[in-house]
Structure 1
């Protein structure tokens, strides 16, 4: 598709729930309020062309969306702010937007073959480009766009980030697909209860004037998908968990347990060799995060004393006491930060870096969440997305999200992609690999010079699968 080719909007309508909502106003939690100044989330799936007419397909998807909205009333609602400053989703059945578009000059290969993600093309496939989440006061909370391609179809979803996180979004999207296919799953029914510590009595006061995101959305960037096969991830995890000192610790631990008379001497030996007996099993994903942090930091050519931060969006549903349901609807995420000097991140081995990430995530329990809530209540404000110091890496999304577990009736997705929302230097999103089994795709957004250096980093590229991926064979 040439840069001059235009997408054609064939129809645009409002889809209403097929059953009247009985749900009252849903108060936004602290985690929801944090995202009011972010862009709408934009996620979508690329499919082969269904073997039915376009008109029949669109009517079917509109009816399926209508039924699905009855299960997710907030997505058909609008924001309201009461006299005290509290923000709610009014489940008023105002409806969601549904756009049918055509881009018949655009092929699947146009979208998937380039090394860099062709964001100038993808941004046309999503509604609400750069819409601020707070806009749901006057705009639909959600919009769906279905675009006919030359040899495929793209279903793009945009939804206010102050209403859903990734867990809730993919529960909706997959439920939408199930309904389209005529399947009902009780396990997908969302939990709308608002009974946790995340529901604050302190209102958020936003700055007056035009509301904008907290980063420069127009800075020059490159975006690539780096694929890591199951075997590459296993090799990386083995590398992180089997450094020499770990093997020494195991040997010395066995020596202690089998030879009591050498206990004192061996303990001194262990101390002198700086070996710990308790080794932590580092997960595959934390191993990949460690590799990414190290190699991106190196590619940025930072001063050694510069503090670099790795931020990871963590699902806190099971970290709270009492726990929230897996199906809790809304945002239940917080940002876990791990900091170190650029010199340490570049010079230390992957095991050490992964251990720092592991400690930060493990320590993020209910007490830490409560302290974060208390800090927010002392100074209520939205989370500031972005890389304001030039040394931050922000990992979002998750390879555990069931992004490929949707079938609208003509097969699973060929690929999952995002739009231009919330993109800045250092923003990374983790997707499961198309074929599952532990493979991971990283959608990486970096400054052009940083991306160029990363592509030449032998340590990073050692684990990257060959590119482009042969997704078109599916």
Structure 2
């Protein structure tokens, strides 16, 4: 680990610029809605794409990326804006042509190779390659809503991104990324325009009494040491399930369908219960301990009227399932899968509306502990075509989440690098539980 830490120090920022849309947009304001506001106190959502090659033409590639960014921001101009509040204290996205735009940093890490970064363990080596570590979305009142760091590696290029989670979710993030790649590979326009009218899904004006925290850079030196001593040691690891393993997990869960004529379990439900059961076992919970499964579900097709896939903003809600650890472990996997399936199916337009009304009566920003006790919380989705994001110098060798928004039990699902139905499962767990999970042959599908 000392060697890894040493490599982290060898990332040197060489320049920092800002990129605005290439055409005049004018002044534009768009209020945040009930789906956005709970995430104001989350951290910026970080992604890292590692590309092999491209380092020899690094300067040319950076310029090409910036030129493409200028064009794609004509449609996604909200990312070049700032958070603001109107006279009544309602949060909104504000844009005008005088704003700085998107922050783009260039960096050099000539001693770090692609191979160093595609290991499955940890995020320590990734931290200096992604901007805005430990920065709250609320900071968008004084910082760009999107920050990008392009780092020249020994044999490749790293693209680290920090998106303000108060203004967009995963579906919107990857819509932007694929659109930017389209422009960079010669398309005159993007194939799907973002739908920017948030108030079409909910037009409730909510005031949150949140003030901007002190600048974290100034406060970090004295606060970090104490906080880190109190927190349990966490580890992050990517578990790669090839499509043969995914198919086996799904067929096992569906081998004994519930007697009440429930529909077959989906790939997601099957993999979700596989992870939930084995993480619960790795935690050595008592039979009577509760464990919560949480999924941040896309609601674009669930709301009434349905919103287009290109809706730009947050249109996700957390869906919770709870049971006793002993019940989850003692019963076959279809027991947990049915709990998850019923919770997801019940989250229809009526349930979404009820959740929104409940939140609007007593607004509360999310904190990690809200995911539930002994939780397994799933974000991202293998539906996102992350390995198709090709800017003209090849497809990514690896796609990872940064160190922000991680806690014991956080899981990110990604399309598998090996393609097909393969899925990469990125898990954060307390260190001793992670060690037990790593040695669980049934979880790893080695038996």
* TM-score of the two chains, using structure 2 as the length reference: 0.91
- Measured after TM superposition, the shift of residue 207 of structure 1 is 6.5
- Measured after TM superposition, the shift of residue 6 of structure 1 is 2.1
- Equivalent in the alignment of 2:247: 234
Which structure 2 residues correspond to residues 90-109 of structure 1 after superposition, within 5 A?
90-93=94-97, 94=99, 95-109=101-115
- Equivalent in the alignment of 1:251: none
2:292, 2:373 within 8 Å by CA — same for their partners in 1?
no
2:113, 2:154 within 8 Å by CA — same for their partners in 1?
yes
- Equivalent in the alignment of 2:445: 462
- 3-state DSSP of counterpart to 1:71: coil
- Equivalent in the alignment of 2:388: 405
- Equivalent in the alignment of 1:26: 30
Unaligned runs of 5+ in 1: 247-274, 465-474
- Equivalent in the alignment of 1:204: 208
User: Does 2:297 align with 1:314?
Assistant: yes
Within 2, Cα distance between the matches of 1:391 and 1:135? 30
- Measured after TM superposition, the shift of residue 388 of structure 1 is 7.4
2:292, 2:372 within 8 Å by CA — same for their partners in 1?
no
CA deviation profile, 1:253-286 (whole Å, cap 9, x unmatched):
xxxxxxxxxxxxxxxxxxxxxx725132001111
- Measured after TM superposition, the shift of residue 347 of structure 1 is 1.0
- Measured after TM superposition, the shift of residue 82 of structure 1 is 1.7
- Equivalent in the alignment of 2:341: 358
User: Does 2:330 align with 1:347?
Assistant: yes
CA shift in 2, pair 1:151/1:380, >3 Å: same
User: Does 2:33 align with 1:37?
Assistant: no
2:21, 2:80 within 8 Å by CA — same for their partners in 1?
yes
2:278, 2:443 within 8 Å by CA — same for their partners in 1?
yes
CA deviation profile, 1:152-208 (whole Å, cap 9, x unmatched):
111111110001100011111111111111114543310001234533223222268
2:55, 2:152 within 8 Å by CA — same for their partners in 1?
no
2:138, 2:212 within 8 Å by CA — same for their partners in 1?
no
- Equivalent in the alignment of 1:57: 61
Within 1, Cα distance between the matches of 2:439 and 2:58? 44
1:236, 1:463 within 8 Å by CA — same for their partners in 2?
no
- 3-state DSSP of counterpart to 2:307: coil
- Equivalent in the alignment of 2:220: none
Alignment: residue pair count: 429
- Equivalent in the alignment of 1:67: 71
Which structure 2 residues correspond to residues 61-210 of structure 1 after superposition, within 5 A?
61-93=65-97, 94=99, 95-113=101-119, 115-117=120-122, 119-184=123-188, 186-206=190-210
Within 2, Cα distance between the matches of 1:322 and 1:447? 42
- 3-state DSSP of counterpart to 1:31: coil
2:240, 2:423 within 8 Å by CA — same for their partners in 1?
yes
- Measured after TM superposition, the shift of residue 463 of structure 1 is 6.0
Q: In terms of mean alpha carbon deviation, does 143-152 or 88-97 score higher?
A: 88-97
Superposed CA RMSD = 2.0
Within 1, Cα distance between the matches of 2:124 and 2:349? 42
Within 2, Cα distance between the matches of 1:403 and 1:43? 10
Pick aligned residue for 1:428 from 411, 418, 429: 411
- Measured after TM superposition, the shift of residue 386 of structure 1 is 3.6
- Equivalent in the alignment of 2:17: 13
- 3-state DSSP of counterpart to 1:335: strand
Within 2, Cα distance between the matches of 1:350 and 1:169? 33
* TM-score of the two chains, using structure 1 as the length reference: 0.86
- Measured after TM superposition, the shift of residue 147 of structure 1 is 0.5
- 3-state DSSP of counterpart to 2:199: coil
